[in-house]
Chain A
Amino acid sequence: MVANVTLTIDGIRITVPKGSTVLEAAEKAGIFIPTFCHDPELSKPGACRICVVEIPGMRNLPASCVTEAMEGMVVYSASPAVIEARKTNLELLLANHPEDCLTCNKNGDCRLQEYAYYYGVKYGAFKGEKHRYPLEDDNPFIVRDMNKCILCGKCVRMCEEVQGNNVLNFAFRGFNALVTPAMNSKYSDTEISNCVFCGNCISVCPVGALSEKDMLGKARRWEVKKVTTTCPYCGVGCQFDLNVKDNKVLGVTSTDGDVNGRALCVKGRFGYGFIHHPDRLTTPLIKKDGKFVEATWTEAIKLVAEKLGDIKAKDGPDAIGILSSARVTNEENYLMNKLARAVIGTNNIDHCARL
């Protein structure tokens, strides 16, 4: 049995297992606390301090994501001191952040934007130098805009703790602090960076610093319908969200898959372009005099049924072979096995499991 502790947050009594954080207790009580650097799947640096709360008896405003909930503790999640601290935090972040929400890919799904709106924080509270980093867009998968980075470090931890590739870390100090691959290289310098373009860093970025290159400028976040489905590549069975607008798949984003969580590989996340490729077959084809001619479904199906029927009648059902597919659904394989055995009358059915 895990021991429990009971604490009071904003007047609400809440009981949680011992060892829980104040943030977790607040979440359980349905109380909103903003976070940037916190992620339940990753280690807790307690770095960004946007999640501070007031706990009488503590000498400053502790970060709720790394403060353990204690028996009898009293917490204020939105006291004037807390609100002021959060506003100042946001003002400082905005002081060195591009005023780019109009064209930013993350508009509508950005934590910085969301919290600035919520707390009524505008640009310009602090004047100072701004970063002028060049955009890193020299690979076909991921765009890095370090001007938008708020140094929460979630991409660093995602790559280290989930993906296990240790591509990113903090370099330099103070104002110059920067998240970067080794030797300040680019993702595309794979020999140095060790990057495999899984894009799992994108899935945790709270702002517009990391984006899927192919999705830029295609749709606003609120215009996109997300359809959770299963990856069509290898046998791991990762799940992801197809991002759809106007009957077009614009991209893939992470969901919470039973097998993979938010993690994907380069093929799953960036290999969807074939869906709308101009080479897609769009009509049945029948070969006449050595050349393919477009046909209707009625013509094509009739021809297939007749030819298979003729061969079955003349040479027997075992003169027909069927290659089903490891690429199509269970339901389709089931029907193909039924077509072979019940309709044609042969066990000559196999697929590429051996190849």
Chain B
Amino acid sequence: MTNSIQEIADADFILATGTNTFDAHPVIGIQVKKAVAKGAVLAVVDPRLTDSAKLAEYHLQIKPGTDIALLNGFANVIIEEGLYNKTFVEERTEDFDAFKETVAKYTPDYVSEVTGVSADLIREAARGYAKAKNSTILYTMGITQHVCGTHNVFSTTNLALLTGHIGKESSGVNPLRGQNNVQGACDMGALPVVFPGYQPVAVEANRQKFAVAWGVEKMPDKPGLTVGELIESAGNSIKALYIMGENPVMSDPDADQVLHELESLDFLVVQDIFLTETAQFADVVLPAASFAEKDGTFSNTERRVQLVRKAIEPIGDSKPDWEIICLISDAMGYPMNYASPEEIMSEISSVTPSYGGINYERLEQGSLQWPCPNADHPGTKFLHKDKFVRGLGKFQAVEHIPPNEIPDEEYQLVLSTGRRRYHYHTGTMTQRTGALEVFYPEEYLEISSADAEKFGICDGDKVKVTSRRGQVEVAAQVSERVTPGLVFTSFQYPDVPINRVTNPARDPIAKIPEYKVCAVKVEKVS
């Protein structure tokens, strides 16, 4: 996030796009509700009538996969009506002219045709976003999980640059991240092209720096493969996978293919707290300790580094992940001698400029938001205040790209997937709490009454959802939350492994799969 979570409450206009905030990030939802209670205008872009959409003044119920068209449409209105921040565009951005040219054809009428949202609604919401004192954009996977995910993100930042709604309090572009330490995993170099602190592996000076720091001759310079590519290459160029705390059999698209690929590996190690669907395919399973059984830090969606404290001893003979990694490293001939996570953090701050001033002594006094380059730095509440990291903010002229798979005669419906309020990701934890799964025991497929009638389905009927890749059975729920043509379910139930159906087509830049759109047919199981 460019801003902090609590700044949301002071925004005057919130554009929440592709985020089911009240279900997936309930405590950020609190800040959104607070802002609305104080008079902020909430605009929600979502094909579904989510709880946040119900609270919104403007619900832009777009057809799935038409985000760029909509946001370009906003820009068109803002430029045409002279509502853009000319000073900001002049002083802090570049490539405005090319952007202006691109969005010229995205008139409200044209965008209305593409997105299904009325031209007036587009105009009103665009004006609201541009004119408010502090406008902020919130987004999650509804923006990113498309074959044009990166361009979708560009189109949100374009709006912020156009209006100058960035680089100040309560005003910015804010991805709400979905996992406790997804920010930290990225920060720590668990990515194929960067060292910790986003220092590119392609830069020789960085490779030298880390070779020296880690006492090895040289660092690999070849860019690594992303998660989808790693699994796709299993059995071919990839012979062994070491998977820690991930469950690709449930979470990755086209799950049947994932199974096949994992089976073709020479060697698979899985390190987890449960024998997950993925762990069952492993050659070796290493039992890890849960968050309650170890010390460490998590970095949240607003770059805030916070302590995780050990409350109990590890269950059974399980061990904290850091200890297991050290054991493997030792056995491979590279001793890793750390007495505690605190010692590891000292090493992290010595090689990661944005974490330079972060240590446990300070964290005991309170959390710190990076960038925090030195021990006297108070941390950074919001980013891009006077200058962007690259200097000038670059407009990225992007065009609407249709989804990879669109409905046809055989597969007439669009399937979109996401999360439920009572469950988390692949359900490994929330299906075993004695509470959450008791209250919300069964998954269902949301289908509109029009489609239910068309396909002869009643509320509660068992239905078969089939795509070109696979099929699952699930109970139908006739619901006002989805529009005709759209069905929705979560990927959180082992007995509804919906990723057998989803499309592995990926965004070419971020390599993120298009979970939000695939073509399916839905039939009643007789």
Contacts and interface: CB of A to CB of B under 8 A. Distances in A.
Given A267-B430, A350-B225, A355 B439 contact: no
SS class of chain A's interface: helix, strand, loop or mixed?
mixed
Given A280-B273, A330-B345, A352-B251, A301 B328 contact: yes
Contacts of A32: none
B430 A234 contact: no
A320 B144 CA distance: 28
A129 interface: no
A287 interface: yes
Interface string B190-220: 1111011000010000000010001110011
B180 A233 contact: yes
B322 A350 contact: no
Interface stretch (B93-101, B164-172, B240-248, B400-408): B240-248
Interface string A268-294: 101111111101111111110000100
Contact of B190 (A236, A275, A279, A350): A350
A334 B344 contact: yes
A339 interface: yes
Interface string B224-261: 11111010011001111111111010011000000000
Interface string A291-307: 01001010011111101
Contacts, number: 462
Interface centre among A248, A308, A333, A345 (most CB of B within 10 A): A333
A287 B104 CA distance: 61
30 contacts: A214-B435, A229-B308, A233-B180, A237-B298, A249-B311, A249-B312, A264-B27, A267-B423, A270-B435, A280-B315, A280-B318, A284-B285, A321-B241, A324-B190, A324-B245, A325-B244, A325-B246, A328-B244, A329-B181, A331-B344, A334-B188, A341-B201, A341-B219, A350-B224, A350-B226, A352-B182, A354-B227, A354-B512, A355-B248, A355-B512
A284 B316 CA distance: 10
A15 B176 CA distance: 43
Contact of A267 (B233, B238, B336, B424): B424
Given A263-B30, A287-B283, A302-B331, A349 B296 contact: no
Contacts of A197: 439
B275 to A, nearest CB: 6
B413 interface: no
B337 to A, nearest CB: 12
B37 interface: yes
A224 B177 CA distance: 33
B375 interface: no
B285 A270 contact: no
Contacts of B296: 328-332
A318 to B, nearest CB: 7
A197 B436 CA distance: 10
A92 interface: no
A235 B179 contact: yes
